[in-house]
A and B are shown apart, each in its own frame.
Chain A
Amino acid sequence: MFRNKLEISLYRYNPEEDKFPYMKKYVIDKPERDIMVLDLLNLLKEEDQSISYRRSCREGVCGSDGMNINGKNGLACITPISEVIKRNKIELRPLPGLPVIRDLVVDMTEFYSQYEKIKPFLQNETTAPEQERLQSPEDRDKLDGLYECILCACCSTSCPSFWWNPDKFVGPAALLQAYRFLADSRDLKTQERLESLSDPFSVYRCHGIMNCVNVCPKGLNPNKAIGEIKSMLHKNKKDIIVSDGA
C-alpha cells in the first residue's frame, strides 16, 4: 500500500442483491488531516451512494454509529482514523452478534427488548410532592457513570455471553441501566427489580470477561455495575433466608 493511500475494507450486504455478505475494498487518498471514521464513511458514500450506516449527532452522544472498527467496537464519529489505522488499512464491520439489515446497519430489536425488560424507568408510587423529590448530592452521585449510557450497543455486542444468549442474558448495557435504577434513592422497587434478575441467566451469565468496559465509548463500567447487582442479589438471598429462619 502506498503511504499516501488509505485502504478501507468495508462489510457489504444488501439483502435484495447479495446472497452472502462480502468485504469490499475502497482505496482513497489519505486525508490530509486526521478525521473521524464517520467522516471517512461520509467520503465513501459521496462516491458510492449505496453504502448504508446509521448516524445522527456526529459527536458521540446519540449512539447511532456503533460499529466494529478494526476488530473493536466503537462509535465511528468519535474515533479518529489515526487511532485505528493499521498498515494504512481500516476494516469496518457491523456490530457483531446481531442480525445485519444492510451493510453496517444491524437489527437492534433484541438489544432494545433486553433494555425494556429491566423496566428502565423510575418506579415510585408514593404521591409525588408538589415540587421535586429531594435527593442529596451524595445520593445523586451514585448515578454518575450509569445514567450517561447512550444505548449504542457497543458493549453488549462485544460480549460473548450476549452472543450466546441474547434472549436470556440481559447484557451489559441493560444491566448498567438496571443498576442505575437500583442505585437511585428515589426508586422503591428494589425488591422486585432484584427478583426479576435472580434467575441463572439474566445477570449470572456475566463471567467478567470485561469486553464491555474495554469498548464503552463513554468510559462507563458495566462490569462494576453487574458486580454491584450480584452483591445485592447475594445479600438479598441471605436476608430472605435469615427472615425465613426467624
Chain B
Amino acid sequence: MNNINTIEFDALIIGGGGSGMRASLELAKSGLKTAVVSKVFPTRSHTVSAQGGITCAIASADPNDDWRWHMYDTVKGADFIGDQDAIEYLCSEGPKAVFELEHMGLPFSRFENGRIYQRPFGGQSKDFGKGGQASRTCAAADRTGHALLHTLYQNNVKEGANFLNEWFAVDLVKNSKDEVTGVIAFSIENGEVAYLKAQATVLATGGAGRIYASTTNALINTGDGLAMALRAGYPAQDMEMWQFHPTGIYGAGSLVTEGCRGEGGYLINKDGERFMERYAPNVKDLAGRDVVARSMVLEILEGRGCGENNDYIFLKLDHLGADVLNSKLPGICELSRTFAHVDPIYEPIPVVPTCHYMMGGTPTNISGQAYTRINNEDYLIPGLFSVGEAACVSVHGANRLGGNSLLDLVVFGRATGKHIQEELKSGGGVASATKGDIDSSLERLNKLNESNSGFDTADVKKELQECMQNYFGVFRRGEFMKQGLDQLKDLKDKVDNLHLIDKSDAFNTSRVEAIELQNLFDVAEATAISAYERNESRGAHARDDYPDRDDENWLCHTMFDPKSKLVSKREVNFNPSKVEAFPPKVRTY
C-alpha cells in the first residue's frame, strides 16, 4: 500500500462545488497545471441545493442600491464579529463576480426591463437600516444554486479544466518546514491511492452539516477539508457558529428557501398567529435567520407549535397564489409535495429550524491563504488555501445572511484563483515532502484498511449526530454541553477504531463513509469545545445560561487549536479600506 504513485500539479483544488469550481475556472485559464479533486461528479456538489439566490448590490431592483448598504447589513447580521475588511471586499467586488456569472450564461430570472431579477431576503435594508426592506437577492427562480453550479461546470468544460472526479482526499501532506505539499487521495472507482503533489492546495470542501441529526445538508457534507486541516494541526475559527435555517421541512430536513418569506410568505403557530410580529416588529419574518429560528423554537417550547405533538411551525404560502408560486418558487412546490405531502398552493408547509450552515472554518485572508496561530499571532501556512463554507474569511461572523453564501463562493473562489496564479507565476511554491512525510499522511487510511475488529460506522455516526443535536443545537447551556463533551470523549475511541469489513477496491463506499465519519467527528469536537467556551449569546450561538451579548469579553473570534484542544481569542478586523468601520450596536430587527 505504501508504494504509491505521485501525480504532480501546480495547484490542486479539493472540492468541486461553487467555490472550488470558481477557483479552478480562474486557474484553468492560466496555463498552470491544475486539477479539481471531487468525491462526486462536480454537479452533485451541495451548491446545487442552494435555492433563493445570490445577494449582491447590482442595483437592478433598486437603481440606487449601494454595496455599502449590503456591507452594513452583513456586518450587523454577523452580530459584529465578521471581519470588516473581508465583508467590504465581498460586497464591493460582488457585482463584478455576479455579472461575470451572467456573462457565462447563468439563466437568471429577469425583470421587465431585462435586468436580473432580485427578491427581498432576511436582514436586508436600504440606507444603513434606515430606508426599509431592500430586494437584493439575485435569483434564477428558486434554483439559483443549481443554475450557478451547472454554469460553473459548463465554463470549466469550456476552458478545459482538469477534474479528478470520484477521487477522495484523505489527508494533507506536510513537509518538514510545516508547508502543505498536496494530499493523499484515492480513486473511489478503483481504489488506487496516490500522492497528489501540489504547490498550492485549496480546501473547497464545503460544510459539515451532517454532524447534526437534522440538517438541510447533503449526505456528502462531512467537513472533509476542514478535518484534514485540523488533523494537520491547523486551527479552526468560530466553530460554535452554526446556522439553523428557520425552514427545513419537518421530518425530512430539506431546505425551504427564505425566498418564500421574501416573496410574501410567513410563519404561523397553532393559533394561526403570525408570531414574528411579536419578536421582530419591524421586519417580522424577514429578520436574521438566527432570530427567526429562536423565535420558532420558543413558540414550540411554549406549546404553540402545530400538529399532534405541537412540534413544528407552519409556513403559509397559499395566499401568494398559484401564479407566483409556480413562477417564483417552483422547486419549493415540488419539494413540499414530495417530502411534506402538502401542496403549498393550498396548504401551509410544516417546518422546523434545521442545521444549515457552518459559519466557522479554516481561517483565511481575502486571497484564500490559510493561516495558523502561534503565540496569538497569525502566520500564513505556505501551500494551503481554503475557500467557501470550509473557510472562515470571515464574512458571516456569528450569523450568515441569506444569499451571502453563493456570493462568498464566487467572490473568494475568484480571488483565490487569481492569487494562486500570481504567486506561482512569480516563483512561489513549497519544498518537497519526504517519503516519511507521505507515509505519515497515509497512516489513517492504512489503519482503516487493516482493521479486523472495531466499531460500526453507521452506529457511531448516529451516536455522534444525536449527541450534537441534543447538546449543541439552537439553544445551548453549559451543564448540558458538558455532558455532550463527555459523550464525545467516549466516541473518540470508537471513531478511531472503526471496523471496515469490506476491503474491496472497486467503488467501496463503506471506506468513504468511514473516513467521512472521522472527519465529522473532528469538526464536531471543534464545534463542541468552542461552543462550551464562548460564555455569551451572539448570532447563532444562543446560551440560556448567558443570554446576553458580551462585547467586553467576546467581541472576538474563537480559535480552536486541535493539538491542545484549547480555545483562544482572536481580534475581529475593524479596518475596511474604503469606508469607516461599523461599530457594534444593539442588534434588533
Contact = CB atoms under 8 A, between A and B. Distances in A.
B104 A17 contact: no
Interface in B79-115: 98-99, 102-105, 107-115
Contacts, number: 145
A215 to B, nearest CB: 16
A242 interface: no
Contacts of A139: 110
A56 to B, nearest CB: 4
A121 B104 contact: yes
A56 B219 CA distance: 5
A140 B110 contact: yes
A16 B506 contact: yes
Contact of B115 (A50, A61, A134, A150): A134
Interface string A1-45: 000000000000011110000000000000000000000000001
B112 A137 contact: yes
Nearest to A131: B99
A55 to B, nearest CB: 6
A2 to B, nearest CB: 26
Nearest to A130: B99
B339 A59 contact: yes
B338 A101 contact: no
Given A62-B218, A121-B105, A140-B110, A57 B44 contact: yes
Contacts of B114: 134-137
Contacts of B157: 116, 120-121
A60 B507 CA distance: 22
A49 B501 contact: yes
A57 B107 contact: no
Interface stretch (B147-155, B266-274, B305-313): B147-155
A147 B144 CA distance: 11
Contacts of A45: 458, 509-510
Contact of B44 (A17, A50, A63, A132): A63
Given A101-B189, A131-B58, A62 B111 contact: no
A34 B158 CA distance: 43
B46 A57 contact: yes
B40 A56 contact: yes
B483 interface: no
Chain A, interface size category, equals: 35 or more
Chain B, interface size category, equals: 35 or more
Contacts of B158: 119, 121
A150 B154 contact: no
B41 A50 contact: no
B504 interface: yes
Given A15-B506, A16-B505, A16-B506, A147 B102 contact: no
B469 interface: no
B538 interface: no
A85 interface: no
A114 B380 CA distance: 43
B504 A56 contact: no
A119 B154 CA distance: 8
A182 to B, nearest CB: 13
A193 interface: no
A58 B41 contact: no
Nearest to B96: A130
A120 B158 CA distance: 8
A147 to B, nearest CB: 5
B431 interface: no
B208 to A, nearest CB: 15
B48 A132 contact: no
Given A14-B506, A56-B40, A59-B339, A132 B105 contact: no
B43 A62 contact: yes
Nearest to B249: A59
B374 to A, nearest CB: 38
A132 to B, nearest CB: 4
A240 interface: no
B504 A49 contact: no
Given A52-B508, A137-B112, 4 more contacts: A57-B44, A119-B158, A136-B112, A150-B48
28 contacts: A15-B506, A16-B504, A50-B504, A54-B40, A55-B219, A56-B40, A56-B44, A56-B218, A56-B219, A57-B44, A57-B219, A58-B218, A59-B339, A62-B43, A63-B44, A64-B41, A64-B44, A108-B41, A120-B154, A120-B157, A122-B154, A128-B99, A131-B58, A140-B107, A147-B107, A150-B146, A151-B41, A151-B43
Interface of A: 14-17, 45-46, 49-50, 52-64, 78, 101-103, 105, 108, 112, 116, 119-122, 124, 128, 130-137, 139-140, 143, 147-148, 150-151, 181, 184, 186-187
Give me the 3 closest cross-chain CB pairs, A-B, nearest first.
Answer: A122-B105, A134-B114, A121-B154
